[in-house]
Structure 1
Amino acid sequence: MTASVRWGILGTGRIARDFANALKDVPDAVLAGVGSRSLDSARSFTDEFGGAAYGSYEALVAAGDIDLVYVGTPHPAHAGNVRLALEAGKGVLCEKPFTLNRREAEPLVALARDKKLFLMEAMWTRFMPALAEVRRIVASGEIGAVSQLSADFGFTSDAGPEHRLFDPALGGGALLDIGIYPLSIAAALLGPVESVLAQAAIGPTGVDEQTTFLLRHRGGGLSTCACSLRARTPGELTLSGALGHVRMNGMFHRARNVTVTTAAGARTVETPYLGNGYVHEVIEAQRCWREGLVESPGMPHDETLALMGVMDAIRRQVGVQYAADAADAVA
C-alpha cells in the first residue's frame, strides 16, 4: 500500500474542480489522473490541478496508478460511470445524488459487494464534526428524547431551461440536486424514513423547482424538509427534544458551530470545518479504503438505497419523472 491515496477524477465540471481543490487540503491525498470525454478538457484540468490527463473515462479507470475514483459527472451518467470504475477494480466515491433512482443504484451496490470494492455516496455532511457534536448532545440526554427536526436548503437560480438544474434529461430539479441534503441528515438524526408526504412547484421544463416534504421516521419522529431553486433559504437545521433543541448554525452543510438551548439557557459549541467541505468525505473514503471496507459505516449502502427510494416516492407524488424511471430502463 502506498503512503498516499491516489485519486482519479471522472469529469471536469465545477464539482470536479471543487473536489480537486479539496484534495489539496488532505496531506495524504494525491490527484493522479483526470478523465474526460475530451483530451483537451482533461489537459486543461490537469494543467491547473496536476495529474495525468486521459481522453476517455475508460482510460482513466484502467490506469494502474489510481486507487480511488471520484465520479463527478452529471446525474444521469453516475450509474454507468460507477459501474465502469467498479468493473475496472477501482473503489468509488460517487457524487450525490448517487443515481437517478433506486433501480439504478441497487446493481451498483451488489457489484461493489461482489467484487469487495469500496463504494460510497459523496455526502460530506455525514462526516462533519458539527453532526458528530449534535449526535453527542443527543446521546447525553441534554435536550431529552428527540422527536422533531426541520431543515432546508435553497438558492435562487436564473439559469436557462437548458441548464442541468432545469433539464429533465440531466436529472434536473431541486430534490435530487439539493433536497438530498436535508433528507439525508434528517435520516441520520431521526432514523430510517417510514413514510413521506410531499408537495412541489413544478417549473415549465417539468422538474421540481421547489419541494417540501414531511417525513415520519422509525420510532415516531417527524421531520419537515424543504429545497428550492426559487428561494434563498436560511439553510439551517434544528433538532428538538423534550427538554430543548440544538441548531446547526449558518448553512447546516457548512456548520462551524452548534447552539444548544434548554430551560437553563443557551450555549454554543465550536466545531471544525475543513476546506470546502469535500475534505471530510475524502478523509472518510481514504480511511475506509485503507481498512479494506466495502462501505462506510457513516454512509452505508443500505441507507443510500433507502434514501434513493424515498426520493423516488417524493417524485411520484409530485409528478416528476425521468427517462430512467421507465419500466424498461436498464440499470
Structure 2
Amino acid sequence: MRVITYGTFDLFHEGHVRLLERAKALGDHLIVAVTTENFDDARGKLNVRQSLMERIRNVERSGLADEVIIEEYEGQKVTDIQKYDVDIFAIGSDWLGRFDYLSDYCEVVYLERTKGVSSTQLRDETGILKLGVVGSGRIAHRLVAEARFVSGVSVEGVYSTTPSNARRFADTHELRVVGHSLPHLLEEVDAVYVAAPHGTHAAIATEAMEAGKHVLCEKPLTLTRKEADELYAVAAEHRVVLLEAIKTAFSPGFQRMVAVARSGSIGQVRSVDGTFTKLGETGREIQAPDGGSISELASYPLLAVVKLLGTGHIDQRTTSVWPDDSEVDTFSRIDLTYPHAVASARVGLGVKAEGDLVVAGTKGYIYVPAPWWKTEYFEARFEDQRDNKKYYYKFDGDGLRYEIAEFASLIRNETPESFKLRAAESAAIAGIIEEARRNAVVLR
C-alpha cells in the first residue's frame, strides 16, 4: 500500500514525527510532499522560518519517508495521487473534511492530532510557541482554526469558567490540556489568547503576565483607558508581549492603505469615516453590562482613525440608539475632532448600513468598500479620474492568522511593541470607547 501525506514541516518537532509514524503505519511505502515557499504563501501559511531545503532535510533525517517530493501548486494532490499510484491519502484531523474530494482517487484518512505530545517535547530550541486559549466562544474556535496556518504556533489547551464548555472545546480541537483553573493552563503554555468577556480582560491578562506569559487579547483590550495603561505597565515590568487582537491592523491590505494615505499621495487627510454594522447577533454581544455596538465593533473604525489621524483628538461626541427593549446600544455614531481633521465611526448590531471606509484628503481620497475591515481592495481616487489607482491584496481566512503571526514574531524577536498597533493606539481606542459608552446622547 502506497501512502502520501503533505505539509510544510517547518521547525520539525515531535508532533511531525508522530504524524509521519501514523501515516507510515497505514502502508508499506510513505511519500511525503513538502510545500514550497510560494505555495505556502498562496494558501495563506504565515511565518515559515526554514527554507524548503532545510525542511526537506528534516523530513529525510526522520527516517520515516521512503520518498520526498515537493508540492508547488493548488490541485497538485490530484496529479500526485495518480502519478505515484497512491492508495491512501493521509492528513492531520484538523483538516477533517477538507480533502474528501480526493476519495474519488484513493482512500482518505484523517489522522488524529497528537494530543500526547507534552509541552517539554515541543522543545524550546524548535521555536514552537505553546499557546493556551482562555474562553470557548465563537471567536476562540476561529482562533484555533486559524493558528494552523501560522508556522511555529501550537495551540495546547483551553480554560473556561464553565468546565463542560472547556472539555467540549478541547475535544473538538483535540487539545492536550483542559485547564481546571487559569494557573493550571498557565503552567502548560508560553502565552495565552484571551477571548473571555470584555470586562474580564484586565484581570486575566494581568494574572497571565505576572506569571511571565505573553498575552494576545481580543478587542477591546479593556473598556477603560486606565485599565489599558495599567496592562501595558505590567507587560513592561515583566518583559512580556501584550498585543490587542484587532485583526485588521495586521492584514496586508489595511497596512498598505494606511501607508498610501499617510504618504501624501491624497494630500493632507481631513476626514476619516468608517462603518461596521451586523445583524442577527445573539449572546453576550447584546447583553449588559459589556455588550453593545460600541464595545463589540467600535475598535475597528477607531483603529482606522488613530492610524490615520493619530491619538490627539480634541473633542468627542457620541450618539447612540438604545431601544427600550434592548439591554445595550444597537447603533452608535462616534464623532471625533482633531486640530485639522474630523472623523466618524458608525457601528451597529441592530441596524444595517454600507460598511465602507472613506479617507478624504486635500488632493484626493481613498475608498475601501465593504467589508473594509477585511481589506482586499481599495482605490485612490482623484479629481482627474485618469489618475485613479486600484490596489489588490490577499485577506486569507478569517484574518486571525495575521494577528497570531505578528504576536509570535514579536515574542521570537523579543520586540515588545508592534508598529502595526502600538500600545498608545490601543490605549487611545480604549479611552474613546470608555467615553462613548459613558457620555453618549441616547435616542430611544
Structure 2-normalised TM-score?
0.67
Aligned to 1:315: 437
**Which amino acid is the alignment partner of residue 294 of structure 2?**
L
Of 243, 258, 263, which residue of structure 2 is paired with 1:120?
243
Of 299, 319, 330, which residue of structure 2 is paired with 1:209?
330
Q: Deviations over 1:49-92 (max 9, x none)?
A: 232222222211122xx222100011111111111211221000
**Contiguous gaps of at least 5 residues in structure 2:** 1-123
8 Å Cα contact 1:288-1:296 kept in structure 2: yes
Q: Is 1:277 matched up with 2:402? A: no
Q: Is 1:184 matched up with 2:303? A: yes
Per the TM alignment, residue 319 of structure 1 is displaced from its structure 2 partner at its CA by: 6.4
Aligned to 1:141: 264
**Which amino acid is the alignment partner of residue 115 of structure 1?**
H
8 Å Cα contact 1:98-1:304 kept in structure 2: yes
Count of matched residue pairs: 313
Aligned to 1:235: 355
8 Å Cα contact 2:369-2:378 kept in structure 1: yes
Q: Is 1:258 matched up with 2:258? A: no
Aligned to 1:108: 231
Aligned to 1:73: 196
Aligned to 1:11: 135
Q: Deviations over 1:274-302 (max 9, x none)?
A: 22111111111111111112232222222
Of 141, 147, 168, which residue of structure 2 is paired with 1:44?
168
8 Å Cα contact 2:224-2:430 kept in structure 1: yes
Determine which structure has more spread, i.e. the larger CA radius of gyration: 2
Q: Deviations over 1:208-266 (max 9, x none)?
A: 2111021123x512112100112122211111111211122221111211111113323
Q: Distance in 2 between matches of 1:42 and 1:136?
A: 41
Q: Is 1:304 matched up with 2:429? A: no
Q: Secondary structure at the match of 1:240?
A: strand
Per the TM alignment, residue 158 of structure 1 is displaced from its structure 2 partner at its CA by: 6.1
Per the TM alignment, residue 317 of structure 1 is displaced from its structure 2 partner at its CA by: 1.9
Q: Distance in 1 between matches of 2:129 and 2:369?
A: 33
Aligned to 1:175: 294
Question: CA, structure 1 residues 298+158, in 2 after alignment: closer, same or farther (shift >3 Å)?
Answer: closer
Of 184, 187, 209, which residue of structure 2 is paired with 1:62?
187
Q: Deviations over 1:16-73 (max 9, x none)?
A: 101111101212221111122344322321222232222222211122xx22210001
Of 199, 213, 223, which residue of structure 1 is paired with 2:343?
223
**Which amino acid is the alignment partner of residue 359 of structure 2?**
L
Q: Distance in 1 between matches of 2:281 and 2:164?
A: 29
Q: Distance in 2 between matches of 1:314 and 1:158?
A: 21
Q: Secondary structure at the match of 2:205?
A: helix
8 Å Cα contact 1:25-1:275 kept in structure 2: no
RMSD: 1.8
**Which amino acid is the alignment partner of residue 28 of structure 1?**
G
Q: Distance in 1 between matches of 2:374 and 2:341?
A: 24
Report the identity percentage.
27
Q: Distance in 1 between matches of 2:238 and 2:425?
A: 20
Aligned to 2:413: 291
Q: Is 1:92 matched up with 2:215? A: yes
Q: Secondary structure at the match of 2:132?
A: strand
Q: Distance in 2 between matches of 1:136 and 1:295?
A: 19
**Contiguous gaps of at least 5 residues in structure 1:** 321-331
Q: Deviations over 1:137-158 (max 9, x none)?
A: 2244321221111100111236
8 Å Cα contact 2:209-2:240 kept in structure 1: yes
Q: Distance in 1 between matches of 2:308 and 2:158?
A: 36
Q: Distance in 1 between matches of 2:360 and 2:287?
A: 37
Matches within 5 A, 1:143-158: 143-157=266-280
Q: Secondary structure at the match of 2:330?
A: strand
Q: Secondary structure at the match of 1:44?
A: helix
Structure 1-normalised TM-score?
0.89
Q: Secondary structure at the match of 1:141?
A: coil
Aligned to 1:33: 157
**Which amino acid is the alignment partner of residue 121 of structure 1?**
E
